[in-house]
Structure 1
């Protein structure tokens, strides 16, 4: 279990950008070709990938089907450019003979499987103007969500749930997207969809009705300008408090609530394959995936465009050098998500850097999973160092924090000389409040400490020695170089009754108070210190730092 969580927490850390060939791949559960793609009336002879409720399509194939638009791949720079190089503009590098480093694109059969894909490894440009679009790289091809096709190519996109078909560009009769002056009411749209106001916890949302999945899920959406937010709520009679027993990779038996497992299935689906999840959790994962894989985004987008709640993009399919491509991004600041407060971050230049929630901080994930100390939260206006590093280049040392935008230094924040001392919790530097959070991994704050925690935090091992009998135990220090066993620190005989009874007992042995609760031995920390079995440092480097969001905004670092 611990091994699994370490991998999950690592997924929240910022990975450095590299070349396309160095970009780390992640195994993800996907469905191949469950959606039919039709471009200007012509069926697309290329794969599409359903992942996490969104259908991804190969941008090269779609672009080349629209009047045979040129698509150029620059492998060293990891750039795909759609369209032309404007006059007087230099190319960003040497183009490849292949448009996106593609291999032979073998059409996959319709199936659920796991693939290795790299996320956001490619920069997408139109006429050498960068557009913000998430993407995944699979088998040498760059895939983008269907919604991104509208932003990148300026094309209409509609989804027909009855036939599982997505139409791009020219739309056939019966799948027409209405104009922006269409009535914004709950009356049935062309697709047969409609909406009603959400109730209870979903107040403020609109619930989509008339879709083919109403027996298993409620689909909700919000529209803020051109920004569409959607989510699916599982309405099956599944007890999320049911305790599920499973066995981890180390053979240990673990118990978790079904609802907690659902959260981790979604959060860490980039890190572990569907096959791995299914091998560990069986039908528990299969039940989760049935709703998680619904085409929620496509259904909502089609409906809000049909009913005029969002104006469909004007066609820019010619993509001449003077074409202007704009990408809508959300308003900065906080917005209420069904389960979390979401923060939409812009850097000081006004560049959109992404959306973040509490669970993007690995310390908060550990708090939820392991019941470790609760860290400061983004929803309470404390941004972790790991999240700030997704907006700026941040170097942190004992004495200062240096924030850069590219190679340009933006701000340098000196820290107090006593910053590493345990009793120092917070400081202010450059009018920015900085809070220190001690993870407690290597600090002893307990009055009594159990044998497993003692080993974890200090390296001191308490184990059976058997020198004279079955009651013989000893403390050993941390293993030294080229040794699997540390030096002997203290020997003691435990009460014989502890090997025969599960009753709670306590005893003083060789100056050390020892007690047993529920079969686990505990030692009095004060005695461990007196006997020089452990030492308590007045300093701690086992902490992370958090920045006050209001102060970062006031300083002009985020908007």
Structure 2
């Protein structure tokens, strides 16, 4: 349900663990969109394809479409995607999410060679509740799997036509040579081999014969089904070389290549690859040659070729006529295994509309003071935003209208003074309604404010300055009404250990108190007011509303 951008940090001579092929990891990937076309039994597929490291990947949901619209069901707690059906006599592995991969409209990607960030091995893929061994990655809300896995799941052969860049699944036109997989490579084709490693890497294997030997040393260990990979940058680069660059405010800055490499890694979730490229050019391109290298895939390929790992093939074949058990949860409240309260919603006609938890409310505030906490679903209040997943709900100053399709279900008049600050609750048509100040008018009432909220509410800008090192940081006040008045900029040197820790005690830097909690920087509001970075606002007139679940149930709107 969330998305994020994560970069890969690597510095010269340092070993950067690449992780396990079975763990979910984010990677920066060079890919080609829609270079390969897919035809299934003579019918062209509208599926997007991603060509990555010699393998063609397609979204899971399109596999189901290839077999006459079989469903794809996602179980979020168990991180399972099941294609097809639930065999008679078997139970579902968990509670299915209402937001399945089939419920989204595809956006056709332009045919292009580009760089993306994706999260690998996010789910367990199953077909009719039988596990399928296949690597996968999450990109743009879609889970992609290799074409090899598609052909195995469908139980059909694959042929690839180089002239038209078309993969044929099932029926193959004359003159097309069948290949077992677009990603299959023989040991002779790759030429890779290994030798025992020595010194600090004693006990590891050093991969040889790969295309990047002039830049890197790739080490690996096999422990059962677990594969660990480490990469060492061996390029003869002067890490003390001073690099000159210009920040967003036009200031010229000089840093060592070593500090800039650290900056790429430490700030990769705050700046895009395009920004890095525009500022640092070849320096960033050189950094990516190793940091974005997918050593895992090279090691996996070599291990499959030499039989050290069993190739993850699946013999599962989809059968559209498999009997199914239609399973939907009981209405009302229940709990997940971790204790999270969940509400299973049915509309007045008894149609299941999905599962919802507190954090599905966009204004939900975790661990907030009760006085500033919005009403919670777990406490019996459903937000306007969540209710809009069940009905069409329009909210105006003096009334709320709830519709199902074109039919008006109920109209709830509101008091004439509803938008006044001191009016917090009302009852309309026996349905209790609460009002909550969303704060989107930039009201700041908390003692500490995090960086993201501060940017959103005030327009304060943050930037890395790099004047003395990777810890250099600056924040600039938002523009004033007087355009000739100079904006205030406060420069800070953050504690260096904050780069590698998720938390840090409050400290005063240049008169501003800062602390770090759960990976976020927080600033003391009183200090920001003192420096005129923010102006407190006492009143607010931006609200959303919440409805009492019991009253909606009594009125027949929820079953």
TM-score by length of 2: 0.42
Q: TM-score of the superposition, structure 1-length normalised?
A: 0.42
